[in-house]
């Protein structure tokens, strides 16, 4: 799939369909969707009750608008508010979310609404997957990262001491409402971190989209506008097509993990804290993946330099030295990678590239080559 070289003139709503056997759903992208959510949900599931799972920060910004629409649509609703941040992706928070769902008398034919970023989508989606053995979920992502990635495709989960997202379930939403207006309330750092996932789609399978981003990223960062909607819709469309072909990540969907083996290890090394946001870890991880690809002669080193230059221009970290505080040595980072979900029969799996837009899954990378890359990165830092 190739992105258009120019964005549409107006930032109208766009709809992307995720085609899955017996459980297809729409991703609706545009401004003002939180205000429309009650009416859309009432049409999708007439007479249902809902519980909104969100965090303190998002609740102050958007919960009242959402609940006002739910009330106007005649939907009984409750809410459960958790602490913001990656630290909430744990068993204790999951238990509280499930207890809130049951206490609100949400039945199997009712709905859970995940209102927030990737953490909320993961926790609320996982809680919906296990409460009463499965309740449908509507994702209303409020961060760029969640709008283009984590709200789509049904991956839910929590972190453990052993690593990121190691406990979870596939639980597809029945609707995704990506209100682009919520992005205007994001801190600049959060928006930049989400942009790493947008760039990822160009890097893994669409060189023309990456080239478009290189020319237009400043407009995407600007408040609202057609370029932002275009970037989000293009990203969603690429992910929807891949998920439609490989829902359970048995093959092609693994390409979406470009940069994640490195990135997740860095997140674990920083204690899943604000020292390193998910998208920041992925930015570093994508550059490392391209540098490893160049080291293994799969791509030209200039490709890795081009990736790094764009991400640096967008304000993202690209080197190990960009992570504040101490990191484990190369052996320690390799040990964290060994806990990654993508490990197969004990072997590390990486998404590498034969060039920009030409990613592939490599299941036979020797740990010594990865260690050599990490050692070189440390020397250059």
Please say if 96 is a catalytic residue.
Answer: no
Choose the catalytic residue: 86, 228, 257, 291: 257
Choose the catalytic residue: 43, 133, 297, 345: 133
Choose the catalytic residue: 62, 77, 171, 260: 260
Pairwise CA distance, residues 350 & 264, whole Å: 12
Choose the catalytic residue: 45, 155, 164, 228: 155
Choose the catalytic residue: 14, 86, 249, 280: 249
Choose the catalytic residue: 164, 171, 230, 264: 264
Choose the catalytic residue: 45, 77, 171, 278: 278
Q: Single out the residue of 260, 276, 378 nearest to residue 325, CA to CA.
A: 276
Choose the catalytic residue: 230, 253, 306, 341: 253
Please say if 278 is a catalytic residue.
Answer: yes
Please say if 171 is a catalytic residue.
Answer: no
Number of helices (H) and strands (E) in the chain: give both, helices first: 14, 11
CA 224 to chain CA centroid, nearest Å: 20
Please say if 161 is a catalytic residue.
Answer: no
Please say if 230 is a catalytic residue.
Answer: no
Please say if 133 is a catalytic residue.
Answer: yes
Please say if 260 is a catalytic residue.
Answer: yes
Contacts of 51 (CB under 8 A, 6+ apart): 77, 78, 79, 80, 100, 101, 104, 106, 110, 111, 112, 113
Please say if 345 is a catalytic residue.
Answer: no
Choose the catalytic residue: 164, 239, 306, 341: 239
Please say if 341 is a catalytic residue.
Answer: no
Contact 351, 257 (CB under 8 A): yes
Choose the catalytic residue: 67, 197, 280, 377: 197
Pairwise CA distance, residues 115 & 121, whole Å: 7
| Structural tokens at position 39 | 């009416």
Partners of residue 81 on adjacent β-strands: 54
Residues involved in catalysis: 133, 155, 197, 239, 249, 253, 257, 260, 264, 278
């Amino acid at each position: 799939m190739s992105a258009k070289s120019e964005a549409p003139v107006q930032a109208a709503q766009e709809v992307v369909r995720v085609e899955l056997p017996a459980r297809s759903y729409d991703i609706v992208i545009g401004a003002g969707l939180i205000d429309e959510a009650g009416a859309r949900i009432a049409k999708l599931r007439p007479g249902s009750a809902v519980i909104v799972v969100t965090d303190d920060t998002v609740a102050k910004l958007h919960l009242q608008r959402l609940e006002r629409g739910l009330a106007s649509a005649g939907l009984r609703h409750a809410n459960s508010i958790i602490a913001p941040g990656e630290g909430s992706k744990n068993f204790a928070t999951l238990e509280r979310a499930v207890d809130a769902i049951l206490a609100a008398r949400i039945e199997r034919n009712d709905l859970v609404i995940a209102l927030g970023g990737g953490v909320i989508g993961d926790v609320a989606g996982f809680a919906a997957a296990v409460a009463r053995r499965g309740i449908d979920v509507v994702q209303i992502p409020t961060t760029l990262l969640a709008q283009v990635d984590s709200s789509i495709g049904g991956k839910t989960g929590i972190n453990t001491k052993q690593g990121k997202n190691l406990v979870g379930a596939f639980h597809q939403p029945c609707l995704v409402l990506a209100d682009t207006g919520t992005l205007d309330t994001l801190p600049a750092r959060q928006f930049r971190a989400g942009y790493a996932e947008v760039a990822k789609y160009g890097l893994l399978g669409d060189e023309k989209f990456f080239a478009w981003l290189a020319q237009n990223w400043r407009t995407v960062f600007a408040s609202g506008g057609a370029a932002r909607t275009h970037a989000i819709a293009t990203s969603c469309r690429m992910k929807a097509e891949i998920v439609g072909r490989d829902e359970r990540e048995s093959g092609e969907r693994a390409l979406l993990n470009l940069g994640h083996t490195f990135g997740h290890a860095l997140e674990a090394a920083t204690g899943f804290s604000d020292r390193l946001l998910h998208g920041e870890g992925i930015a570093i991880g994508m550059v490392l993946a391209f540098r490893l690809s160049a080291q293994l002669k799969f791509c030209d080193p200039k490709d890795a330099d081009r990736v790094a230059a764009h991400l640096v221009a967008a304000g993202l970290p690209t080197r190990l030295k960009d992570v504040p505080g101490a990191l484990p040595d190369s052996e320690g980072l390799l040990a964290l990678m060994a806990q990654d979900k993508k490990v197969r029969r004990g072997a590390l799996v990486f998404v590498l590239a034969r060039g920009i837009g030409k990613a592939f899954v490599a299941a036979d990378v020797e740990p010594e080559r990865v260690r050599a890359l990490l050692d070189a990165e440390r020397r250059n830092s």
